[in-house]
Amino acid sequence: DTAVSQTPKYLVTQMGNDKSIKCEQNLGHDTMYWYKQDSKKFLKIMFSYNNKELIINETVPNRFSPKSPDKAHLNLHINSLELGDSAVYFCASSQEARGNEKLFFGSGTQLSVL
Amino acid sequence: GENVEQHPSTLSVQEGDSAVIKCTYSDSASNYFPWYKQELGKGPQLIIDIRSNVGEKKDQRIAVTLNKTAKHFSLHITETQPEDSAVYFCAASIRAAGNKLTFGGGTRVLVKP
């Protein structure tokens, strides 16, 4: 069983389109994250949700809107896609309530905006 | 905010040799320092971590050292094997501020057989 799964794995789209990436974790964790990895492999946090509540919201354009329908899911919706949005997006989860900072990452969604 | 710098950006070693990756951080309040390994096409995976109340931690062939005064921490891999080839990331966070990890820029390690 995949612990943190995200779909799709690849996403190729045109500038200006709206797209969503879905993430699900079956670890029973209470906290989920979205990270962006650029072409130089630099990893930067975008959002963090704890029990469906937004905890971390970095300086991300408001075209990016996370949604957490429940503790096990954190989706990322992106409006009006731009060339600079091309990157690999990673979902991750952790169990904050037990003071465990270990992050479990999904395998990533490679977004290419043409 | 926190800034983490990582060196070198690439590292090529002969199988069996040791590899060392160094990181520095800027925020003296940071108290948690994990290391992640990312293989091609996969997400990062935690390999070892250290908290600020410990100076050194070892797990089989990997070890991490922390110098709080100098705000340095390092990853040491001994007896490297081809499967150690990957991108390694250091990170730092302030536990009390939630789990906001700031990552270093990554080190691409290549172990030559």
Start-to-end CA span in chain B (Å): 41
In the prediction, which pLDDT does A100 show? 64
B38 neighbourhood in chain A, CB within 8 Å: 41
Neighbours of B105 (CB within 10 A): 17
Mutate to test the interface with A, among B5, B39, B99 (most CBs of A within 10 A): B99
A45 neighbourhood in chain B, CB within 8 Å: 100-102
- Are residues A5 and A47 in contact, defined by beta-carbon separation less than 8 angstroms? no
In the prediction, which pLDDT does B3 show? 93
Q: Tokens 């952790």, residue? A: A94
Task: Give per-residue pLDDT as tens, A44-84.
Answer: 999 998 888 888 888 789 999 999 999 999 999 999 999 99
Across chain B, mean pLDDT equals 94
CA distance B84 to B62: 10
Selecting from A50, A96, A103 the residue whose C-beta is nearest the C-beta of B101 gives A103
Is B44 in contact with A42 (Cβ distance < 8 A)? Answer: no
In the prediction, which pLDDT does A103 show? 92
- Are residues A109 and A12 in contact, defined by beta-carbon separation less than 8 angstroms? no
- Are residues A35 and A92 in contact, defined by beta-carbon separation less than 8 angstroms? yes
Task: Give per-residue pLDDT as tens, B19-36.
Answer: 999 999 999 999 999 999
Is B43 in contact with A99 (Cβ distance < 8 A)? Answer: no
Neighbours of B101 (CB within 10 A): 27
Selecting from B41, B87, B101 the residue whose C-beta is nearest the C-beta of A41 gives B87
Neighbours of A12 (CB within 10 A): 12
Q: Tokens 């809107």, residue? A: A65
SS3 content of chain A, % helix, strand, coil (to 5): 5, 60, 35
Confidence class for position A33, pLDDT limits 50, 70, 90: very high
A28-32, B9-13, B46-50, B77-81: range with lowest mean pLDDT: A28-32
Task: Give per-residue pLDDT as tens, B90-103.
Answer: 999 887 656 688 99
CA angle in degrees (0–180, nearest 5) for A61-A86-B91:
75
A105: closest CA of chain B, how far (Å): 5
